């Protein structure tokens, strides 16, 4: 966002420049430092620092909340317990069932990482939702993908895992030729791709929308009635959209974790 | 005949936006009525759920067709 | 809510419904991708690209919807059987 504002400094409604609409360029941030190791470039930029910060905050918080282990919890411990119980009751036990308890750490880590990364989009100073660069949702999805494939093959045997998905009962034999590649494609390609793209597209669109209205509020600031009214309205819409965006961030984190739980449950309990 | 108005740019995205209105309303109606039916008669959950998912799949198909058509008919 | 989760209502039901609901979206996209892609490839070889791709897409959608229907019926039949076996 800083790149857009710097290039449009002093660019207001009647200054003669057009509206500097934010495009996908705002997602490519300037690096702070670049390391050249073994012929590859490692960039240390805002995103790197934010990701490290998110991981650090979550680790420190949950370690500090779990340390006291009192029967009657203090404040920090009870917040940590509520977070844990939310994942365990609403996601793991609802979807996977009784044996979902051992996946609660994994699901909890996913949920809080995605949620805090998304929240970085509205925290002043950071203001960049980490999940809006495609690499991060893809990385998380690869972990989930490996997990449910491995679990499915371990619990049901590799052949039965794929054949139970590919050949559902109650279908005339001739249709199997048409349906089996569809199911295979769905299991192996579509599931991870839609999971990653859903998270990425929501965060990308939300960030772009808020940026557009913020730049609009700045652009419309000019000594004219339309300018003043437009700027005030744009700013109001930015505030409303930020609230909406916070809800969407929580929802997308929840859906990502819920889908992970659904896929793990599908791998553990065989299809009939 | 003189040209009065012209629309340039990404018409496909406008098309998808228009195509998503109907399925959006439709899915809302399906699940809203489904939830209401479950609230009235919780024993019939299985039947209601079956029909809800079928209706949702059919309606979602229309939205996805709207997404794909610009690639089919465009250049 | 008990500590070990033994009083949960119908976790199997919820899991199957959630599974099926997300599956229907995946089915549709996979069907459109696979058969639309096949139609597009055939169209490139033969000519009239858009007609083959459109046919492939429609075929993919129809198959995906059929698959969703089959899976939902299976799921419902299995859950009803499970419930009936439990009550006996």
Per-residue pLDDT at A14 exceeds 80: no
- Report percent pLDDT > 70 for chain A: 95
Contacts of C18 in chain A (CB under 8 A): 95, 258, 262
Question: Residues A217-236: what's their mean pLDDT?
Answer: 87
pLDDT of residue A271: 59
pLDDT for res A204? 92
More confident: B41 or A72: B41
Question: How far C39 CA sits from the closest chain B CA (Å)?
Answer: 11
Q: B50 and C73: CB-CB below 8 Å? A: yes
Q: Are A82 and A64 in contact (CB under 8 A)?
A: no
Q: Chain C contacts of A265, Cβ < 8 Å?
A: 15, 19
Q: Chains C, B in contact: 3+ Cβ pairs under 8 A?
A: yes
Instruction: For residues B30-47, give the mean pLDDT.
Output: 89
DSSP-derived 3-state class of residue A41: strand
Q: Min CA distance, C5 vs chain A (Å)? A: 7
Are B72 and C50 a contacting pair at CB < 8 A? yes
Contact A262 C64 (CB under 8 A): no
Give CA–CA dist A186/A190, Å, rounded.
Answer: 5
Residue-wise pLDDT tens digits, A55-99: 999 999 998 888 877 788 788 888 888 999 999 988 888 888 778
Checking if the pLDDT of C3 tops 90, the result is no
Confidence band, pLDDT 50/70/90 cuts, at residue A1: very low
Query: pLDDT: is A114 or A226 the higher one?
Result: A114
Both tokens assigned to A176: 């199997």
pLDDT of residue C10: 59
Contacts A–C by Cβ distance under 8 A = 79
> Burial code of A131-151, b = ≥16 C-beta within 10 A, e = fewer?
bbbeebbbebbeebbebbbeb
Q: Hey, CA dihedral for C65, B68, A133, A17, is it positive or negative?
A: negative
Reported confidence tier of residue C6, pLDDT bands at 50, 70, 90: low
Kindly provide the ipTM of the predicted complex, given to two decimals.
Answer: 0.75
Tell whether the model's pLDDT for residue A19 goes beyond 70: yes
Count of positions (residues) in chain B:
75
Interface residues on A facing C, Cβ-Cβ cutoff 8 A:
89, 93-98, 101, 168-171, 175, 178-179, 181-183, 185-186, 189-191, 194, 258-259, 262, 265-266, 269, 272
Write the residue in A89, A98, A182 that is nearest to C67 by C-beta: A182
Tell me what pLDDT residue A51 has.
93
**Of C33, C34, C70, Cβ closest to residue A168:** C70
- Quote the CA–CA distance of A129 and B47 in Å, as a whole number: 41
Which residues, 6+ apart, have CB-to-CB distance to A112 below 8 Å?
A: A58, A62, A83, A253
Q: At A7, is the pLDDT very low, low, confident or very high (cuts 50, 70, 90)? A: low
What per-residue confidence (pLDDT) applies to A272?
Answer: 47
Query: Which tens digits make up the pLDDT trace of C24-80?
Result: 888 888 888 888 888 888 888 887 777 888 888 888 888 888 888 888 888 888 777
Mean pLDDT of all residues belonging to chain B: 87
Confidence of residue C11 (pLDDT cuts 50, 70, 90): low
How much of chain A, in percent, has pLDDT values that exceed 90? 35
In this predicted structure, the answer to whether residue B9 has a pLDDT above a threshold of 80 is: yes
Q: In chain C, which residue's Cα lies nearest the Cα of A193?
A: C26
List the single residue in B61, B71, B72 with the smallest CB-CB distance to C28: B61
- Regarding chains A and C, contact by 3 or more CB pairs under 8 A is answered as yes
CA C39 to each of CA A156, A185, A188, C15: distance values in angstroms, whole numbers, following the listed order: 35, 16, 21, 35
Cβ-based contacts of A269 with chain C (< 8 Å): 15
- Other chains touching C, judged by 3 or more CB pairs under 8 Å: A, B
**pLDDT averaged over chain A?**
86
Question: Could you say which of C15, C27, C73 has the minimum Cβ distance to residue A186?
Answer: C27
Q: Is the pTM of this model over 0.95?
A: no
């Amino acid at each position: 966002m800083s790149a857009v504002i710097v290039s449009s400094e002093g660019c207001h409604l009647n200054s003669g420049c057009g509206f500097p609409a934010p495009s996908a360029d705002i997602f490519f941030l300037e690096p702070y430092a670049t390391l050249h190791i073994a012929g590859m470039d490692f960039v240390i930029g805002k995103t790197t620092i934010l990701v490290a910060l998110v991981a650090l905050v979550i680790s420190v918080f949950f370690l500090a909340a779990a340390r006291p282990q009192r029967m009657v919890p203090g404040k920090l411990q009870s917040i940590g317990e509520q977070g844990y119980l939310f994942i365990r009751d609403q996601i793991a036990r609802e979807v996977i069932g009784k044996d979902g308890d051992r996946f609660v750490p994994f699901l909890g880590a996913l949920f809080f990482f995605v949620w805090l990364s998304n929240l970085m989009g509205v925290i002043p100073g950071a203001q960049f939702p980490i999940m809006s660069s495609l690499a991060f949702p893809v990385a998380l999805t690869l972990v989930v993908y490996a997990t449910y494939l491995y679990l499915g093959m371990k619990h049901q045997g590799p052949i039965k895992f794929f054949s139970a998905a590919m050949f559902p009962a109650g279908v005339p034999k001739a249709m199997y030729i048409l349906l089996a590649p569809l199911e295979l494609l769905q299991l192996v390609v579509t599931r991870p791709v839609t999971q990653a793209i859903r998270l990425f597209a929501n965060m990308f669109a939300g960030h772009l929308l808020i940026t557009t209205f913020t730049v609009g509020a700045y652009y419309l600031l000019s000594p004219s009635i339309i300018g003043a009214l437009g700027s005030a309205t744009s700013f109001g819409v930015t505030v409303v959209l930020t609230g909406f965006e916070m809800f969407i961030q929580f929802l997308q984190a929840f859906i990502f974790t819920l889908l992970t739980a659904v896929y793990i449950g599908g791998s553990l309990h065989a299809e009939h | 005949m003189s040209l009065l108005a012209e629309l340039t740019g990404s018409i496909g995205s406008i098309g998808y936006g228009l195509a998503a209105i109907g399925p959006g309303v439709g899915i809302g109606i399906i699940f809203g009525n489904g939830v209401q039916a479950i609230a009235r008669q919780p024993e019939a959950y299985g039947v209601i759920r079956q029909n809800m998912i079928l209706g949702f799949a059919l309606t979602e198909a229309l939205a996805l067709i709207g997404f794909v058509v610009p690639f089919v008919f465009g250049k | 809510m008990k500590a070990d989760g033994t009083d949960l209502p119908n976790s199997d039901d919820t899991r199957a419904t959630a599974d099926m609901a997300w599956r229907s979206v995946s089915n549709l996209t996979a069907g459109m991708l696979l058969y639309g892609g096949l139609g597009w490839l055939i169209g490139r070889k033969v000519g009239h690209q858009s007609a083959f791709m459109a046919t492939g897409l429609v075929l993919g959608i129809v198959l995906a919807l059929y698959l969703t229907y089959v899976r939902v019926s299976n799921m419902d039949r299995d859950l009803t059987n499970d419930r009936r076996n439990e009550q006996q």
